[in-house]
Chain A
Amino acid sequence: MAATATTSSATGARSIGGERLKETLVGYGFIAGPMLVYGLLFFYPIAYSIYISRYDWGALGKISSRGSGNYRDLLHDHRFGLAVKNGLKFTIGFAVFSMALGLFVAVVVNNAVRARTFFRSAYYFPSIASSAAITAIALFVLSADGIFNKLTGLHHAWFGESGTALWAIVGLNSWTTSGTVMLFYLAYLQAIPTEVYEAAAIDGAGAWRTFWKVTFPLLKPGHFFVSTLLVIGGLKMFDQAFIASGGSGGPNNSTLVPVLYLYRVAFYDVRFGYAAAIGLALMLLMFTLTLIQRLTFGRAEAA
Chain B
Amino acid sequence: MSRRRAFVAAALALTVVAAAVAGTSLGGAKKHHGASGTVVLSGWAANPDELKLLKQVIRGFQKTYPQIKVDYQPITGDYVATMLAKFSARQPPDVFYIDSNVFLDWVTQGLLDPLDSYAAASKFSSKPFFPSLLNGFKYKGKIYGYPKDWSPLAMEVNTALAAKAGVNPAKIKTWNDLTAAAKKLKPVMGGDAKPICLNPSWDRALAFVYQNGGSFLNPSKTKSTIDSPAAAAAMNYYVGLVKQGLADIPAKLSVGWCGEALGKQKAAIIFEGNWLFPFMASTFPDVQFVTERMIMNKQHGNLAFTVSYSMAKDSKNKPAAWQLIRYLVSKPGMKTWTSKGLALPSRSDVPPVAGRSAFLQDAPAAHPWQFAPRFSQVIDTANNDLSAVIEGKKSVSDMLKHIQDTANSTLGH
Check B287 for interface membership: any CB of A closer than 8 A.
no
Check B120 for interface membership: any CB of A closer than 8 A.
no
Question: How long is the Cα–Cα vector from A170 to B167 in the complex, in angstroms?
Answer: 45
Across the interface, name the chain B residue whose C-beta is closest to A271. B374
From known contacts A144-B192, A250-B383, infer whether A160 and B111 are also in contact, taking CB-CB under 8 Å. Answer: no
**A267 cross-chain contacts in B, Cβ below 8 A:** 78, 80-81, 84
**B337-384 interface with A by 8 A CB criterion:** 374-377, 380-381, 383-384
Name the contact of A60 in the complex, choosing from B80, B111, B375, B391 (C-beta under 8 A): B111
**A265 cross-chain contacts in B, Cβ below 8 A:** 377
Q: Provide the A146-184 mask, 1 if CB < 8 A to any CB of B, else 0.
A: 100000000101011110000000000000000000000
Name the contact of B88 in the complex, choosing from A60, A161, A249, A256 (C-beta under 8 A): A60
Question: How long is the Cα–Cα vector from A144 to B250 in the complex, in angstroms?
Answer: 10
**A221 cross-chain contacts in B, Cβ below 8 A:** none
Check B64 for interface membership: any CB of A closer than 8 A.
no
Check B393 for interface membership: any CB of A closer than 8 A.
yes
A-B contact count (CB 8 A): 95
Name the contact of B252 in the complex, choosing from A146, A157, A263, A266 (C-beta under 8 A): A157
Are A268 and B105 neighbours in the complex by a CB distance under 8 Å? yes
Are A144 and B380 neighbours in the complex by a CB distance under 8 Å? no
**B200 cross-chain contacts in A, Cβ below 8 A:** 250-251
Question: How long is the Cα–Cα vector from A267 to B109 in the complex, in angstroms?
Answer: 12
CB distance from B161 to the nearest CB of A (A): 19
List the 9 shortest-distance A-B pairs measured between CB atoms, nearest first: A160-B251, A268-B376, A251-B387, A252-B388, A267-B81, A145-B254, A144-B254, A157-B251, A253-B384
| Interface magnitude class on chain B | 35 or more
CB distance from B58 to the nearest CB of A (A): 28
Q: Provide the B247-287 mask, 1 if CB < 8 A to any CB of A, else 0.
A: 00111111000000000000000000000000000000000
Across the interface, name the chain A residue whose C-beta is closest to B389. A252
Question: How long is the Cα–Cα vector from A161 to B253 in the complex, in angstroms?
Answer: 12
**B384 cross-chain contacts in A, Cβ below 8 A:** 248-253, 256
CB distance from A220 to the nearest CB of B (A): 41
8 contacts between A and B (CB under 8 A): A144-B253, A145-B254, A157-B251, A157-B254, A160-B250, A253-B388, A256-B384, A270-B84
Across the interface, name the chain B residue whose C-beta is closest to A162. B391
Check B72 for interface membership: any CB of A closer than 8 A.
no
